[in-house]
Structure 1
Amino acid sequence: MGPTESDELLVTLDAGVLTLVLDRPASRNALSLRMLDALAAALDDGLEREDVRVIVLTGAGSAFCAGGDVATFARGESIFGPMDEPGQRLKRQTESQRATVVRLWESPKPTIALLNGPVVGAGLGLALACDLRIAAASAVLRTGFVRVGLAGDFGCSWLLTQAVGAAKAKELLYLSETVPAESARELGLVNEVVADERLTERGMAIARRLAEGPGEALAAVKANVANALRNGLAECADDEVRAHVRLLGSRYHRDAVAAMARRRST
């Protein structure tokens, strides 16, 4: 995995689980161009490799991701290009978002975010783009954008609306209040909350379970749910049937049914 790793992103692969660690702990893993480029390259590589079956995203130290680097904002700078060249910044950020947030959302392989601390701004977008989110009890979520006079990026408005509905998404974006982990679970922003010291253990247990599962079926599950966000019931049901018929011929299905039959006959 060396070619995709940088000094701001740690990359490991173990038993089919690709773990990507945002690694700027001194700045609470605030985004940098180097980090985003490395993340994009790691996702490209991981999605192409057959030995990668699940992708896990987390942060080094005591934070998941603080979003945009406030120190950069304070200098009147942008990580995507000079402030007096908005066209360049627009192009570069659009490409970066598609290569990271959109790539995570559209990945046919399961993706899991392990939220080990503050999840803010664009960092919230990265987390929400993952299929599952497991939060440490001390984790907190916040949109953060309006606090610095911005409206949001990295897909946050769309992802929040899908997760909690339009009214709640507007509230979270307008007020930018801090949401504790347990409240985030109640809202549907995270799937599970665990003790801080159990986060990695629990997250990797889920990742390994998925990595050992039927990859083709899991990809179809993700595609079916994505279809449900844009199509009506009839179209979704038709797509489900097509996937169902295809998967009936898979080796995993045949082996699983044979094993189940053997258990019932004993």
Structure 2
Amino acid sequence: MADGPQDLDTGTDELLATLDRGVLTVTLNRPAARNAYSMPLLDALGELLAAAEDDERVRVVVVTGAGAGFCAGGDVKVMARGESIFGPADDVEARRTRHAAAQRATTVRLAQFAKPTLALVNGPAVGAGLALALACDLRWAAESAVLRTGFVRAGLAGDFGCTWLLTRLVGPARATELLFTSAALTAEAARAEGLLTGVVPDGELPARGAAVARTLAETSPLALRAVKDNVARASTQDLASCADAEVDWHVRLVETPEHRAAVAALSTPRPAGPYS
């Protein structure tokens, strides 16, 4: 891998990607539309995530938005014209098929990603855009960011896994309320509810994100993968089964060079980081 950042060709100007020392930064690039989804953007994002999962150079994925917004989700201007980005208005089945495929290739894949993922919510995250943020492992936001479900305001119920992701984080009662009301949550309110990992002043978000991503990129990738697997099991299996799985990972990790190097490093002072 080259020493400096590498701009990757995503096939569209609507999605930018840069790989720098193991950190893949993905930027939604439709600022005039608050980074609302389009099919070129979704197709490129799905292809990029699929490639990143198999690319050993990629150790962390960071998702953010260009301009003043993170992601507005569906493009209401397209909806207002009676159109859909997923296909012709008179072909319901074609729209359903493409919509489902786009979801699975983006937020569903991101939520199940084997590598650490980080959302930098630099502005409003609404509807399916909120789902994109919630699908990431960690979510840091600028103070001015606003989170909103937004679906019912457009006469819709939700997509891109937002209902499932929201329910896991805040429980069914609160998820229902947020979906019913489309209440706008400030970044601090969202953090208090567990929707965000942390909140920083607007100008500090890029630096904080870079520090968090660097810390993760320098951590054993197999250990991080094991953590994600253990946490995922905790939602579906009993305690004994989860504990047994932890042992399986532990035995495997003890044999790795990363473990031996990490243990040796613990006895050596090192600079403070975002998770020191």
- TM, length-normalised to structure 1: 0.96
Which sits farther off after the overlay, 249-258 or 63-72?
Answer: 249-258
The answer to whether the 8 Å contact 2:33/2:75 transfers is yes
Select which of 222, 237, 254 maps to 2:243: 237
Select which of 57, 60, 79 maps to 2:85: 79
Letter in 2 for 1:30: A
Shift of 1:259: 3.7
**Cα distance in 1 for residues equivalent to 2:260 and 2:16:** 38
SS at structure 1 position matched to 2:147: strand
The residue number in structure 2 matching 1:215 is 221
**Cα distance in 2 for residues equivalent to 1:2 and 1:52:** 12
- TM, length-normalised to structure 2: 0.93
Identity of counterpart residues, as a percentage? 60
SS at structure 1 position matched to 2:19: strand
- Quote the RMSD (CA, aligned, Å): 1.2
Note the alpha carbon deviations across 1:214-234, whole angstroms, 9 max, x for none.
000000001111111111111
SS at structure 2 position matched to 1:4: coil
Aligned ranges for residues 21-60 of structure 1 at < 5 Å?
21-60=27-66
In the alignment, structure 1 residue 180 sits paired with structure 2 residue 186: yes
Structure 1 residues 237 and 75: alpha-carbon distance in aligned structure 2, compared to 1, 3 A threshold: same
Shift of 1:71: 0.5
Structure 2 gaps, min length 5? 1-6, 270-276
In the alignment, structure 1 residue 148 sits paired with structure 2 residue 154: yes
**Cα distance in 2 for residues equivalent to 1:256 and 1:151:** 47
Structure 1 gaps, min length 5? none
Shift of 1:261: 5.7
**Cα distance in 2 for residues equivalent to 1:107 and 1:128:** 13
Shift of 1:54: 0.2
The residue number in structure 2 matching 1:125 is 131
The residue number in structure 1 matching 2:199 is 193
Letter in 2 for 1:146: V
The answer to whether the 8 Å contact 1:5/1:11 transfers is no
Kindly tell me the number of residue pairs found equivalent between the two proteins. Answer: 263
**Structure with greater proportional helix content:** 1
The residue number in structure 2 matching 1:9 is 15
Letter in 1 for 2:222: E
**Cα distance in 1 for residues equivalent to 2:264 and 2:14:** 47
Letter in 2 for 1:188: G
Select which of 226, 243, 261 maps to 1:255: 261
